[in-house]
Amino acid sequence: MRLNRPQLIFLAVFCLTLLGAVVWALYAEYDRPWKQYQKIFNDLEYGYTAKQYQKLLLQRGGVAEKIKYNSPASVRNAGVSEKDLLTLKNRLSLIQNRGEKIKQLWLQGLGETDRCITCHQAVNKPGFENVSQPFRTHPGDYLKHHPVERFGCVICHEGQGVALTVNAAHGYAKNWSKPILKGAYIQSSCSKCHFMDQDLPFTAELTAAPVFTKGWKIFMENNCIGCHKLTGYKRPDRIAPSLTYIADKIKREWLIKWLKNPKDYLPETRMPRFEFSDREIGYVADYLMSMEPAQRAPERPSPFPKLDAGGFLNNSLIEEGENLFNALGCPGCHKINGKGNDFAPDLSGIGSKVKLDWLYEFLRKPKSYDPKTIVPDFRIPEKEIPGLAAYLMSLKKNKKPIPLTPSLTPDRRGGIIEGVEKGKKLVRDYGCTGCHEIETLSFQYNAPELDGIGDKRVDELVFNDLNDVEKTLISWLEIKVREPGRFATDKIVTRMPDYNFSKEQAEALVTFLLSMKDKPVSIKYRKTLVNHNTAEMRGRRILEKYNCRGCHKIKSKGGDIGPELTHEGKKSRAEWLYTFLKKPHKIRPVPILKAGMPDFNLSEQEVNTIIEYLSFISGESYPYDPEPRKEISPEEIPSGEKLYQEVFACSGCHTVNGTGGEVGPDHTDLASRLKREWIEQWLKNPRSIKPDVRMPRFKFRDWEFEALTNYLMTLGQYRFVQVKGAD
């Protein structure tokens, strides 16, 4: 069959097109980016290996000269062996003959196919640390613990592991849910294998992921789980004061100013600012101030001593109170005008906030007003409370009057019933019970769950009218935590408050949020780096809860209001510690600390956890094995007593049964309090235990040392109390 001219033309065009397509396909296959990367890296690696080979040859040549003119030292002893040279030579040959091919890891435990090493061939090869990507050695020593062969790349960096082009592999393809993570956000992947739960103390951290750890702390400190449900995290009972009896405590005028912007009163407060209108603030104030007065407070003296007399806030009474405030060690927890610790609320303006009657009762018995408070009982004498109350009431700030609108007058009467109901609804809708306890209002979550938020696709996110921002999950989260109000529209009301996070805080929090994935990795890959169930971790949680370091130094960190506790487990008997922590009493004289250890009303489990922790950090065994009691004959006591009272004049500084000096600790109960081994070490050289101690080092003869120690071990009775395990 003969083809006509048009048919011949069509066939020719078709064949040329087919040939062109084949040529293009062959060229495209030849010119694939990954192949070019491999060719470039082959040249880089060949050059690097050749330099190493030449270096060894030069070293060997230098060694040969030494052999020739000096001693018969061997090449092997000089560090250059034939094996080393042969290895490099074979390596050069391998590189020279190596072709381009796709490299792939099948990570069955992760359910991932990873081809990243097709381009990133130097990732686990030293020597390319300063080369540009994709030819650079992986930084740090991460691969030492996370070998590429077992973990691949996408488990940490995200992206599309099977892809072979930059845009696709890095996850920039449209609707790919896991674009590559950059910068600090890579640290969000650490939690896939290393979970940070809420039971860890805030001092715990993943050292290789500081930004992620900071984000976890911000998440916990700001109680995000008070509004957002998250698997593995339990909402705490409360992290803020109870609002049940707030009407007893605070002034309505202060409450209104506080609701408008908490940071105007306390710049460092954790309380966020809600976008309430003036009228809504009035409603919330109506509801909170409508709470029934507390019936649980004990009867108070009436009239208050010195409080009802004229001129209550006189300078002398205020000065007495300030001195008492400092002597009690209150700055260990509270800050006033920039001085003190910020564990508990800043008291710089407390006089503008609280009512005098409430303050007086709270100072007398903190738990009578709020049984769940962690404020301890300092057992303040009744006659000294007025001075302390006067000092605190003198601390005022933010005296600017509030706007006189119908909703914001301090004592609005009209429409109060309507205001209470509307205020109650606002308190419920905005999730106030997530942080504050209100006995008449049950808790409920009021915000979306956070499970899987790190896997959200861009098409699932609502940007509303935000057209000037990058449409990515990270961008959406950054705006959400820093400027939640930007998502509000005429039809959409955002209830998330403004925490005034800095850019660095927002980055850390977003890093933590990105770690919340729907799909967990295989249990074979999970490893707990910080075991929260150890004696140390359990103890650190208790120390953080009650801010023990506010007064005590422990392992070189903490305050100096109370004695150092680093060696307390080696020093004190466990049974005495149990009794003391359950019911503290004064040991040291008044000039050193006014009130001594306050009563925290610790539970039995908390007490035993503290004892176990103190034993652990001082290297003592737990449960405590009581040391054998050495029998001391009655004939030995007088000689030791004479040494104590006369020769070394210990009674000049120490008290026994009410007699003696008040410079050092009371020795009345010494034998039941301290271990003999520690007493012996202390007598030999006090400064070896406490370098800044005022007690001198005495030169004892052997019999004096033995007699004095025996006498000290007779002071007081052993009061054994069963110390149960902390679990």
Distance from C-alpha of 24 to C-alpha of 30, rounded to nearest angstrom: 10
Distance from C-alpha of 629 to C-alpha of 454, rounded to nearest angstrom: 61
What does the pLDDT average to over 43-67? 78
Question: How far is residue 629 from each of residues 5, 98, 674, measured CA to CA in Å?
Answer: 121, 78, 12
% residues pLDDT > 90 (the chain): 44
| Amino acid (1-letter code) at residue 677 | E
What does the pLDDT average to over 25-37? 74
- pLDDT for the residue numbered 128: 92
Distance from C-alpha of 264 to C-alpha of 349, rounded to nearest angstrom: 11
The pLDDT tens digits of the residues spanning 324-378 come to 999 999 999 999 998 999 899 999 999 999 999 899 989 988 888 788 889 999 9
| For residue 300, pLDDT beyond 60 | no
| For residue 66, pLDDT beyond 90 | no
Give the 3-state secondary structure of 169-237.
HCCCCCCCCCCCCCHHHHHHHHHHCCCCCCCCCCCCCCCCCHHHHHHHHHHHHCCHHHCCCCCCCCCCC
Least confident of 406-420, 448-462, 584-598, 630-644: 406-420
- pLDDT for the residue numbered 665: 87
Q: Which is nearest to 584 in space by CA: 651, 673, 667, 660?
A: 673
> Is domain 533-727 classified as CATH 3.40.50.150?
no
In which element (H, E) is residue 335 found? strand 335-336
Neighbours of 509 (CB within 10 A): 26
Distance from C-alpha of 283 to C-alpha of 102, rounded to nearest angstrom: 67
SS3 155: helix
% residues pLDDT > 70 (the chain): 85
- pLDDT for the residue numbered 525: 86
Q: Is the separation of the CB atoms in 296 and 248 below 8 Å?
A: no
SS3 339: strand
107 bridge partner residues: 112
Higher pLDDT, residue 507 or 204: 507
Distance from C-alpha of 571 to C-alpha of 673, rounded to nearest angstrom: 8
| For residue 185, pLDDT beyond 60 | yes
| Amino acid (1-letter code) at residue 240 | A
Non-local (6+) Cβ contacts of 182 within 8 A are none
Q: Which two tokens stand for residue 74?
A: 């061997």
- Can you say whether the dihedral through the CA atoms of 74, 75, 78, 83 is positive or negative? negative
| For residue 626, pLDDT beyond 50 | yes
Higher pLDDT, residue 253 or 67: 253
Neighbours of 128 (CB within 10 A): 18
Higher pLDDT, residue 303 or 196: 196
Q: Is the separation of the CB atoms in 561 and 593 below 8 Å?
A: yes
- pLDDT for the residue numbered 409: 56
What is the pTM (predicted TM-score) of this model? 0.82
- pLDDT for the residue numbered 189: 92
659 bridge partner residues: 656
SS3 47: helix
Which residue do the tokens 């004096």 mark? Answer: 704
Domain range list for the chain: 102-180, 192-235+443-529, 246-426, 533-727
| For residue 87, pLDDT beyond 80 | yes
Distance from C-alpha of 172 to C-alpha of 546, rounded to nearest angstrom: 48
DSSP assignment string, 517-542: -SSPPPGGG---SS-TTSHHHHHHHH
Q: Which is nearest to 400 in space by CA: 246, 281, 253?
A: 253
Confidence of residue 202 (pLDDT cuts 50, 70, 90): low
| For residue 600, pLDDT beyond 90 | yes
| For residue 251, pLDDT beyond 50 | yes
Among 64-68, 214-218, 630-634, name the most confident range: 214-218
Domains 192-235+443-529 and 533-727 belong to one CATH topology: yes
Among 299-303, 502-506, 653-657, name the most confident range: 502-506
Measured between alpha carbons, how far apart are the two ends of the chain, in Å?
97
Confidence of residue 257 (pLDDT cuts 50, 70, 90): very high
Distance from C-alpha of 213 to C-alpha of 727, rounded to nearest angstrom: 27
In which element (H, E) is residue 656 found? strand 655-656
Q: Which two tokens stand for residue 149?
A: 């062969």
Distance from C-alpha of 526 to C-alpha of 81, rounded to nearest angstrom: 42
455 burial (CB, 10 Å; 0-12 / 13-18 / 19+) is: middle
Distance from C-alpha of 406 to C-alpha of 438, rounded to nearest angstrom: 26
Distance from C-alpha of 133 to C-alpha of 130, rounded to nearest angstrom: 9
Distance from C-alpha of 656 to C-alpha of 295, rounded to nearest angstrom: 44
Distance from C-alpha of 152 to C-alpha of 194, rounded to nearest angstrom: 17
Confidence of residue 208 (pLDDT cuts 50, 70, 90): confident
Higher pLDDT, residue 330 or 25: 330
| For residue 78, pLDDT beyond 80 | no
Q: Which two tokens stand for residue 236?
A: 């705490």
- pLDDT for the residue numbered 586: 79
DSSP assignment string, 569-611: HHHB-HHHHHHHHHS----S-TTT-SS-S-B----HHHHHHHH
What does the pLDDT average to over 494-518? 94
Which residue do the tokens 């408050």 mark? Answer: 497
The pLDDT tens digits of the residues spanning 645-702 come to 999 999 999 999 888 888 888 898 898 899 999 999 999 999 998 888 889 999 999 9
Least confident of 108-112, 127-131, 375-379, 389-393: 108-112
| For residue 303, pLDDT beyond 70 | no
Alpha carbons within 13 A on the beta-carbon side of 71: 4
Which residue do the tokens 């081994």 mark? Answer: 677
Which residue do the tokens 């270096």 mark? Answer: 55
Confidence of residue 405 (pLDDT cuts 50, 70, 90): low
Non-local (6+) Cβ contacts of 360 within 8 A are 300, 304, 307, 385, 386, 389
Fold of 192-235+443-529: Cytochrome Bc1 Complex; Chain D, domain 2 (1.10.760)
Among 7-16, 276-285, 286-295, 583-592, name the most confident range: 276-285
Phi and psi based region of residue 657 (left: phi greater than 0; alpha: psi -120 to 50; beta: remaining) = left
Average per-residue pLDDT in the chain? 84
SS3 336: strand
Confidence of residue 632 (pLDDT cuts 50, 70, 90): confident
- pLDDT for the residue numbered 239: 86
Phi and psi based region of residue 605 (left: phi greater than 0; alpha: psi -120 to 50; beta: remaining) = alpha
The pLDDT tens digits of the residues spanning 548-557 come to 999 999 988 9
Angle at CA 663, nearest 5°, toward 661 and 666?
A: 70
Cα 497 to the center of its chain, rounded Å: 22
Q: At 554, phi and psi to the nearest 5?
A: -135, 120
Buried b (16+ CB within 10 A) or exposed e, 616-636: bbbebebebeeeeeeebeeee
CATH code of 246-426, in short, is: 1.10.760.10
Q: Which is nearest to 95 in space by CA: 147, 50, 137, 33?
A: 50
Q: Is the separation of the CB atoms in 667 and 655 below 8 Å?
A: yes
Question: How far is residue 500 from each of residues 213, 341, 482, 483, measured CA to CA in Å?
Answer: 20, 21, 6, 8
Distance from C-alpha of 488 to C-alpha of 462, rounded to nearest angstrom: 11
503 burial (CB, 10 Å; 0-12 / 13-18 / 19+) is: exposed
Question: How far is residue 565 from each of residues 438, 548, 549, 560, 569, measured CA to CA in Å?
Answer: 38, 10, 9, 11, 8
Distance from C-alpha of 475 to C-alpha of 490, rounded to nearest angstrom: 23
C-alpha dihedral over 159, 162, 163, 168, to 10 degrees? -30
Q: Is the separation of the CB atoms in 213 and 512 below 8 Å?
A: no
